[in-house]
Amino acid sequence: MISRADDPRPIRTAVIGYGLGGRVFHTPLIAADPAYELAAIVTGDPTRADEARSRYGDGIVVPDADALFAGAEALGLGLVVVTSPNATHAPLAHRALDAGLDVVVDKPFALTADDARDVREHAEAVGRQVTVFQNRRWDGDFLTVRSLLASGELGDARQFDSAFEVWKPALGPKRWKDGAPPAEGGGILFDLGPHLIDQALQLFGEVDVDGGGVHAELDRRRPGAVAADEAFVTLAHRSGVRSRLWMSAVAPAPRPRFRVVGSAAVLTIEGLDPQEAQLAAGLGQDDPGFGTNPDRPDGTLASPEGSRAVPIEAGRFGSFYRELAEALRSGQPVPVDPRESEQVLRIIEEAHRQQG
């Protein structure tokens, strides 16, 4: 690994893609962190290019990945963030590694676990770092669940219900996530599945994928859908916990975001983490109230002795990039081990296999 410990300069960073991921998540987080310098945004869409220039300056836009990699040395790049359509994640990560750059890949890491492993092994071979933007590890509600489990108040965990459900009953006119089949990275299992599966694995450990530890039900509900827009996945963890994961684009009303059943108590949390909406509205991480929602109810911890409110921790997506900068400078582990995202993809592959 090439260390940056002796180089105090900000890490010059390029973001490939300026859709939802690039515009709402990556560029605001990078631009706000003094450890980084946003050097380039790759987009060929004229409207998005104009928006990027308006926000980050006239010289920020690069028209395509070819131009970016051809000019990587002149730009002084150290890091590339890949947040383009899913099918391009692994190919662009390989190109960035070939250019001698560290890489952040948005979820899903790749379309298959084998493709993800190839990227990781490529990074190891060339002495660069690759990590995956599993930002939902820093959702406030997930941090609250993790803290309550660690406290012992739930007793021994037995069941974990996690749901991410929204109401989008019509296919979007330009949404490649809706219009692409699973073989090209389309469908809700590639969209929300990496978040929910990763969170379950972080809390409760590995799943025996080949030994029947995964069950999946995938459905196409909207007219014209070519990939699942509703999914239910259960995971039997080796730890003995059973996770039940719901994801839907067509839920008129959502289930609780989390319900954790332990031997001593049950934790229930309603609503969604506010950070995505806040970033989309232009709120910065240093703004008062970022990562919290005063209108969201507290969680509830219920037991035979009664119940009490559980305040939801503030979310902190920015922690991903802060931890990454520390890792790149020190040689310490990156915030998301790519092997963990390979495990997520193995589960997604098995879910798709079960549906034929």
Q: Kindly state the tokens that stand for 46.
A: 């004229």
Does residue 108 have a cis peptide bond before it, meaning omega lies within 30 degrees of 0?
yes
Instruction: Give the model confidence (pLDDT) of 141-162 as tens digits.
Output: 999 999 999 999 999 999 999 9
Describe the strand order of the beta sheet including 214-219 as a list of residue ranges. Answer: 214-219, 230-236, 242-248, 157-165, 258-262, 266-269, 299-303, 306-310
Residue 331 has a pLDDT of 87
Residues 65 and 162 in one domain: no
Residues 156 and 289 in one domain: yes
**Cα–Cα distance measured from residue 47 to residue 70, given in angstroms and rounded to the nearest whole number:** 24
Decide if 3 is inside a domain.
Answer: no
Residues 271 and 145 in one domain: yes
Decide if 281 is inside a domain.
Answer: yes
Q: Which residue is listed with tokens 């719901």? A: 246
Decide if 352 is inside a domain.
Answer: no
Give pLDDT < 70 ranges for the chain.
1-6, 173-176
Residues 89 and 115 in one domain: yes
CATH classification of the domain holding 206: 3.30.360.10
Residues 272 and 225 in one domain: yes
Decide if 356 is inside a domain.
Answer: no
Q: Which residues contact 326 (CB under 8 A, 6 or more apart)?
A: 332
Residue 1 has a pLDDT of 36
What kind and span of H or E run contains 344?
helix 338-354
Domain membership of residue 35 as a residue range: 11-135+319-334
Question: CB burial class (10 A; 0-12, 13-18, 19+) of residue 3?
Answer: exposed
For residue 94, give the amino acid letter.
H
Residue 177 has a pLDDT of 74
Phi/psi at 272 (nearest 5 deg)? -115, 150
Half-sphere exposure of 193 (CA within 13 A, CB side): 36
* DSSP state letters, 60-108: -EESSHHHHHHTHHHHT--EEEE-S-GGGHHHHHHHHHHTT-EEEEESS
Give the gyration radius of the chain's Cα atoms: 20
Q: Kindly state the tokens that stand for 174.
A: 């330009």
List C-alpha distances in Å: 56 to 32, 37, 42, 51: 12, 11, 13, 9
**Cα–Cα distance measured from residue 157 to residue 242, given in angstroms and rounded to the nearest whole number:** 9
Residues 114 and 153 in one domain: no
Decide if 327 is inside a domain.
Answer: yes
**Cα–Cα distance measured from residue 169 to residue 171, given in angstroms and rounded to the nearest whole number:** 7
The C-alpha angle 209, 215, 216, rounded to 5 degrees, equals: 120
Domains: count for the chain: 2
Decide if 351 is inside a domain.
Answer: no
Decide if 348 is inside a domain.
Answer: no
CB 247 within 8 A of CB 228: no
Residues 96 and 164 in one domain: no
Residue 176 has a pLDDT of 64
Q: Helix, strand or coil for residue 350? A: helix
